[in-house]
Amino acid sequence: MASHGKNILVTGAAGVLGREVCSQLVSKGHSVTGVDNNKRFPNSKPDGRFIKSDLGKFLNLTANKFDFIYHMAAINGTASFYSQPNEVLTNNVLTDLDIFKFAETNPNTKLIYASSSEVVSGTTIFPTPEIVDIVVDNIHNPRWSYRLPKMLAENYLTNSKINYNIVRFFNIYSEHCGAGHFLKDIVSKIKNQNYHLQSPEETRSFCYVKDAVDAMIFVAEQTSNNIVNIGSDEEITILEAANIIATALDIPAQWKTIDSLPGSSLRRRPDITKLLEIYPTFKPESFANVIQRIKDIL
């Protein structure tokens, strides 16, 4: 391990974000312990020391000697919000509280919390800054099972004595995404000739996982007690994104419109001014370029 290396814990290490976090941190010479129960990605084994375990059990058996904790663990994926909302809400709230209590046992630990653009869903301000009024329409919407824990966590951290950074991710994607994520679902639809496309007119600002994690680590090392949007400022429609994927796969798609799910955001575009102040050279790769580059493994 390099002399500058830190002792780092990554939760949700087998997931799309966690796996990339472990990879980049190990490449920087840090000693990385990754924890995941492998329920979502059973064959994923991230770089570093990997422990297959429920997070609560691991924390109960472990002393906090970590310099950094990157907390990526959560049940996510839009399909899960609607199909198992109570499991999403319960798991994510309890998991967050467990890791916050663990972090509080060592005042030298810095906690990096993975929040989400879902927190600011429904805003009418675009690009959307970190500090903006939040409105929750129809508190009983199952979609909020993911959003509400993120809101609670942000409130907890900003009112705690934990040394934290909150990174608010906007539409991160990867070739390793599973079912329930946009890229995987669109690829599956195209290959199965199922051309029903939900919310084609809605917009998203897709950011490739390698760019997002690079930015998160840079922010973690440069600032504290901050909330920072991480994403791309390239805003495209769902229809444009679906066509980019179909073109890369060389499969013509005649899309048929499906209405949006309740609570789905009409637009998403982060204001990344703060991120660029911290990381002036951050330049995420365009969605079209990434899809073209990774098309053979989709």
- SS3 category, 197: strand
Helix, strand, coil tally for the chain in percent (to 5)? 40, 20, 45
Beta-bridged to residue 169, according to DSSP, are: 116, 230
Asked whether residue 136 is domain-assigned, the answer is yes
- Give residue 18's pLDDT: 98
Question: In this structure, is residue 212 part of a structural domain?
Answer: yes
In a domain, 239, yes or no: no
Q: How many CB atoms lie within 10 A of CB 69?
A: 24
| Structural domain includes residue 185 | no
Identify whether 105 is part of a domain. yes
What's the domain count of the chain?
Answer: 1
Range of the domain at 147: 74-176+207-233+268-285
CB environment 143-179: b (16+ within 10 A), e (fewer): bbbbbbbbbebbeebeeeebbbbbbbbbbbbbbbbbe
Per-residue pLDDT of the chain (298 residues; tens, 9 = 90+): 344 799 999 999 999 999 999 999 999 999 999 999 999 899 999 999 999 999 999 999 999 999 999 999 999 988 899 999 999 999 999 999 999 999 999 999 999 999 999 999 999 999 999 999 998 999 999 999 999 999 999 999 999 999 999 999 999 999 999 888 999 999 999 999 999 999 999 999 999 999 999 999 999 999 999 999 999 999 999 999 999 999 999 999 999 999 998 899 999 999 999 999 999 999 999 999 999 999 999 9
Q: What is the pLDDT at residue 78?
A: 87
Classify residue 256: in a domain, yes or no: no
Best CA proximity match to 129, nearest among 271, 258, 284: 271
In angstroms, rounded to a whole number, what is the distance separating the alpha carbons of residues 77 and 91? 14
Q: Tokens 């796969």 correspond to what residue?
A: 249
C-alpha distances in Å from residue 260, one per residue of 195, 257, 266 = 15, 9, 9
What integer pLDDT is reported at residue 2 of this predicted model? Answer: 40
- CATH number, domain containing residue 144: 3.40.50.720
Does residue 36 form part of some domain? Answer: no
Confidence (pLDDT) at 77 = 87
Residues 6 or more apart in contact with residue 244 via CB below 8 angstroms: 236, 287, 288, 291
CA angle 125, 129, 131 (to 5 degrees): 105
The amino acid at 203: T
Tell me the C-alpha distance between 192 and 25, whole Å: 37
Q: Is residue 170 part of a domain?
A: yes
| pTM exceeding 0.85 | yes
Distance CA 252, CA 238 (A): 16
